[in-house]
Structure formats: C-alpha cells, structure tokens
A and B are shown apart, each in its own frame.
Chain A
C-alpha cells in the first residue's frame, strides 16, 4: 500500500569532503578518498579517519558554540543552517508548531563523555563540567536544531546504529503523511572519531587495518581486496515538505521522497544475515510504499561499507531483488563510514544523483570482488538519468532502513 510522496526542498552536508553540499558533491564525483592519518588517534591500533576539515565554530554557529555544543551537534547545526537556507523557507515567518525535527544519531557526544570521564579520573568528581549531560545526550542534536529555527513540532532522535540517518528520514516521512507537520528538518549526525570508539571498532575487526600507511586506499567498497571500513564523521540534512505545501509556495523541488521500508535481520548483533532476508523485507516494503516495481530502480546508493561481509551480502541482495538494471555506487569510498550520519549523507547524495543525472564513482574499486555481479560505477562519474533511486542503510543490531527517491518537478 503506497503513500503520497513528499518534496525534498533543501539539502545540507558536512563531510570529510567539505563543509557544504557543493564541496562534498564535487569531491564525491571525483571519487577521491578523504581518508588520512589522524593525529587525534595517535597510538591507537587504527589511526586513520575521514575527518571534517577545520571550521570556525564561532563564525558558523555563534559565540561559545564550541563550549555549548558537542561536535555531533555542531555538525548537525551547520548542515541544518545550509539546508534551511537552501529550501528558501523563512524560519522567522513560518508556523513553528508545524515544523518537526527528526535526526538520526548512533552515539551522541562521546567526545564530551570521554573528556569529562578523564577529568573525573584525574581530578575528582567536583571537576566534572555541569555541561556534560546537555553536551552528550544524543537527542540534543534535534533539540538544538529546533531551538535554532523555532521549530516546535515533534522533535526526536532515532538510533539504529549505521542506519540511524535513514530511519530518521523514514520517520519524518510518516510525520508529513500523517499531516502532523508541513515541514520536517531531518537527517543524521555523528562525531564518532573518538579514540575509545575507534579502538572499539578496531577490536571487533570492523575497520580496515591493511593500509594504515596508505589511508587513501583503505576504504574500497565492493573491491576484492577490501578489509573493513574507515571511520568518518559528518552530518546530512534534508528539508522535507508535504508536496502541496511546497507547491503552494512555489518551492524548487530537488527530488521526492516516495517510500521507506524498515526491517530487522533478527540474526546477529554485528553480522548481516547471509541470506539477506531482512534486507529483502526492507527493500520490498520501501518499493511497495513508493508504488514502484523492483524492475524500475535506476540507481542504488549502497550501504557499501567496505567490510567483506556487508558488501558481499548487499551485492547479492541487490542482484536478487532488483536485477541488473540499477547503476550502483558506494560513496563511503570517499567520505568513509559516518555511522549514524551515513544514511542521511547518502540520502542527500542520492537526491543530488537524481537532480544532476550523475552517479558518482566508488573510490578505490580496482578489482571487483568475484561474487559481486552488479553494475558499480568506478573511476569516473557516470551520466545517468535516474527516475527512481534507492538508498540502503544497514545497522548493527540487524536494523535495516531503505529509502526510495523519485524525480522532482
């Protein structure tokens, strides 16, 4: 049973490829990885990351923002400011009660947690900052975006690990369809490049370790020689509107969000179901929700983490469920795996792929894995008219979220 599509009228991106949509899109289309040696991870078993280039917090967010907002909130705010400006909506005159904020975040302010834990260990509890709790709780990302724009509608954060951003966008779609909001600022954010967190991922064998001396070649989705993901950070924000609300104000519509499907593997904490039953459920639900047939999908922005297990299972699922029609890419080759932000960053890149009629290449794909029988873009961006595009996100815990976008206008 399909529901009405909603309009995507604004985009905002902060990634290792740049602060802003244009810089990110340009670098992603070049297919050049942003991974590099990270001084903040010195001495850790894995010391490479895809980090957001330095920015001036005060200039972008106002005085004392570095003290008020953990990095995951800063990234969300910067991307949200860009997305709201891009939408052409005026927060000074909108009906704030009809504007929701739904963001995905897998971890929250672990950087602040880590710093204050160290303070307590070294100098005692009386030295712990009173800011700790408002800095670290994950819902603050949506809370602060709401405060910034006077958005007083439903406001919350979803946590489905690496699918969080896509889950949030799906929840935003529901709010708009139910008529609870006219506008939802949605997406995801994460600032997980914290020594303890990165080491945790390293200890479980999820990260690439073979190319620490050549970081730019480490994230290589679907490549035969891939050995794990490279951790990244960032935020992706979409401004979604009820289609008639966007039409009534003559908004430029970048694309439509037509469908969302979610499921659980119910299989294992961190490994995907090799039979892909959960993924099949989410893909099928998203297509039905969008009123689109499996054979109509032109483009897939894959979850494509560059881990051996994910990419093999995902490629098999795409082939089995969608055939050989879709042109596939994994943008994690360039921006790394941004955890709770990934689904949202990739949703924004999927919208751009539709709008620009261009599918970016998958970085570092030199030899396609033997079992991967799908059409993956490599080396150069491919000019491609995508009327229907899908963005996949799969999280630890076996949580799957799939979004279907269609052309705007």
Chain B
C-alpha cells in the first residue's frame, strides 16, 4: 500500500484507539465503529499531520481505509498542480 495508507493506519492506531490488526485496506470506518463525528475529527488530524487541505466531508464512514488514502492523495495532487 501507499505511504499515505501507512500514515493513515498510524493515525488510526495512535489517535483513535484502533488496533493495527483490525485494519486492512478493505476495512471501512463503520467496521472500526467510527461515526460521522469521528470522521470529521480524523480528517482534521490528517490535515494537521500530513499538511494536506481536505474537505471535512471528503470521506464517509462507509469508505474503506484504502479509499480514504486515495482521496487524501488526490487532494494532495490537486493542491500541488493548482
């Protein structure tokens, strides 16, 4: 997986009390018992720790961790090409 995915896994384990062995690329945030408020909080942390500008509703609870990493990469690419 990408380094973004790895960073996301680190944030989830260190800040959101998820154990590493629960996370696969296909795991959704719902599977991790994260509701919409936790998603906003997660994207806030992503913005601060990865220095990427991403909308608070960019990822939803139904998305997988891999999909969220793709969305973060897309946001990073959009920011660097603009």
Contacts and interface: CB of A to CB of B under 8 A. Distances in A.
Interface of A: 58, 63-64, 66-67, 126-127, 129-131, 134
B37 A64 contact: no
B44 A64 contact: no
Nearest to B36: A130
Main secondary structure of the interface of B (DSSP, over half): helix
Contacts of B40: 130
B37 A58 contact: no
Interface size class, chain B: 10 to 19
Given A130-B37, A131-B37, A134-B37, A67 B17 contact: yes
Interface string B25-68: 00000000100011011001000100000000000000000000
A137 B16 CA distance: 22
B44 to A, nearest CB: 6
B41 A64 contact: no
Interface centre among B17, B18, B40, B41 (most CB of A within 10 A): B17
A67 B48 CA distance: 18
Given A63-B33, A64-B33, A130 B16 contact: no
Contact of B17 (A63, A126, A127, A130): A63
B41 A129 contact: yes
Given A67-B17, A127-B48, A130-B44, 11 more contacts: A58-B17, A63-B17, A64-B17, A64-B38, A67-B38, A67-B41, A126-B44, A129-B44, A130-B40, A130-B41, A131-B37
6 contacts: A63-B18, A63-B33, A129-B41, A129-B44, A130-B41, A131-B41
B66 to A, nearest CB: 22
Q: Which 10 A-B pairs have the closest CB atoms?
A: A130-B40, A130-B37, A64-B17, A63-B17, A131-B37, A129-B41, A130-B41, A131-B41, A127-B44, A64-B16
A67 B44 CA distance: 14
B16 to A, nearest CB: 7
Main secondary structure of the interface of A (DSSP, over half): helix
Nearest to A133: B37
Contacts of A58: 17
A22 B4 CA distance: 49
Nearest to A62: B33
Nearest to B48: A127
B55 to A, nearest CB: 11
A67 B18 CA distance: 12
B26 to A, nearest CB: 20
Contacts of A64: 16-17, 33, 38
A129 B37 CA distance: 9
A211 to B, nearest CB: 40
A134 B41 CA distance: 13
Contacts of B18: 63
A63 B48 CA distance: 24
A131 B48 CA distance: 17
Contacts of A126: 44
Contacts of A66: 17
A282 B69 CA distance: 62
A63 B35 CA distance: 13
Interface centre among A66, A67, A130 (most CB of B within 10 A): A130
B45 to A, nearest CB: 10
Nearest to A63: B17
A70 to B, nearest CB: 14
Contacts of A67: 16-17, 38, 41
A64 B17 CA distance: 6
B49 to A, nearest CB: 12
A67 B37 CA distance: 11
A275 B59 CA distance: 63
A384 to B, nearest CB: 47
A64 B13 CA distance: 11
Contacts of A134: 37
A63 B16 CA distance: 9
A204 B64 CA distance: 53
Contacts of A129: 41, 44
Nearest to A135: B37
A66 B38 CA distance: 13
